[in-house]
Amino acid sequence: MGDVAWIAVDWGTSHLRAWLMGRDSTVLDRRSSADGMGGLDRNGFEPALRALVGDALPVPVLACGMVGSRQGWAEAPYATVPCAAPTIHTAVSVPGTDLDVRVLPGVKQDNPADVMRGEETQIAGFIARNPGFDGIICLPGTHTKWVHTSAGEIVSFRTAMTGEMFALLSQQSVLRHSMGQGWDAEAFATGVDQTLSRPETLAASLFSLRAEGLLTALPGDAARARLSGLLIGAELASMRPYWLGQAVALVGAKALSAAYATALSAQGVPTQMADAEDMTLAGLTAAYAQLQGEAA
């Protein structure tokens, strides 16, 4: 692997992803493992990295995500908004190893209290790909982020646990008995409209899914889509200051971003979409370019 100039790493709670990068930052190889931060102690990170990309070491490694948390390999203290998306200048070098590993920090907000790790690198990647972008970036996922950016800075952000709530309700609550595996676009739109206009009805509307399944044989696909719509509608109601009158960039998995785009489009909100993994790599690449600039 003599052509590898550096390694980009996205190290989350449940996964480890790495890209072997050439000198012109082209991707030579992509690798992944299940060695996420959540299953490792402090001494487990270096062996996990070597197991995945050891044949390409030693080259500089630039990492983002939960690897920089308090329970990670090396804590990278949060930057505080308003701030630029973290750069190589705020990265933390991992001590106690002969490898050159640098970890990008997350971002925090004191009031209302909020944090992110990993999404800030996606934001940096989106801004790098879309210079001059001012507006709202929404990052749908387990914990969806709504981020106000201006002049290349993260101004403020809020997190909604919508994805985690959907997983818990659809897999571990009484509603699991009503869930299908498919999708019903009309049911999704009905759910969004219901809680976007009346978010206070969310709890009662959720149980109606179970009752309708028992009494009127509500199809499982419709129940699943409406559950998603109810939760996203309630989220949109709470995040109205972020999207009302704005254009929104959606950075996430294609299917989930499409659901948010559909919900926002019904409110007359224009959207554009970008892939989360692509933006993570773009953010890490932008940071590595700064490292090259330091060495020049």
pLDDT of residue 293: 61
Query: What's the pLDDT tens digit per position in 194-234?
Result: 999 999 999 999 999 999 999 999 999 999 999 999 999 99
CB 123 within 8 A of CB 131: no
Sign of CA dihedral 70, 72, 73, 75: negative
Q: How confident is the model at residue 114 (pLDDT cuts 50, 70, 90)?
A: very high
Two tokens, residue 101? 């590993």
Q: How confident is the model at residue 296 (pLDDT cuts 50, 70, 90)?
A: very low
Q: How confident is the model at residue 132 (pLDDT cuts 50, 70, 90)?
A: confident
Query: What's the pLDDT tens digit per position in 19-65?
Result: 999 998 899 999 999 999 999 999 999 999 999 999 999 999 999 99
Can you list the domains of the chain with their CATH numbers? 6-117 (3.30.420.300), 160-275 (3.30.420.310)
pLDDT mean over 235-259:
96
Q: How confident is the model at residue 86 (pLDDT cuts 50, 70, 90)?
A: confident
Full-model pTM: 0.93
Q: Which position has the token pair 């499982």? A: 220
Q: How confident is the model at residue 295 (pLDDT cuts 50, 70, 90)?
A: low
CA gap 83, 170 in Å, rounded: 37
Helix 220-238 and helix 254-265, axial crossing angle in degrees, nearest 10: 70
Q: Where are the alpha helices (DSSP H) in the chain?
A: 45-53, 119-129, 162-172, 185-197, 202-215, 220-238, 240-243, 254-265, 276-295
Strand order across the beta sheet in which 6-11 lies = 27-33, 16-21, 6-11, 61-65, 101-103, 92-93
Two tokens, residue 174? 């009484």
Sign of CA dihedral 123, 82, 242, 114: positive
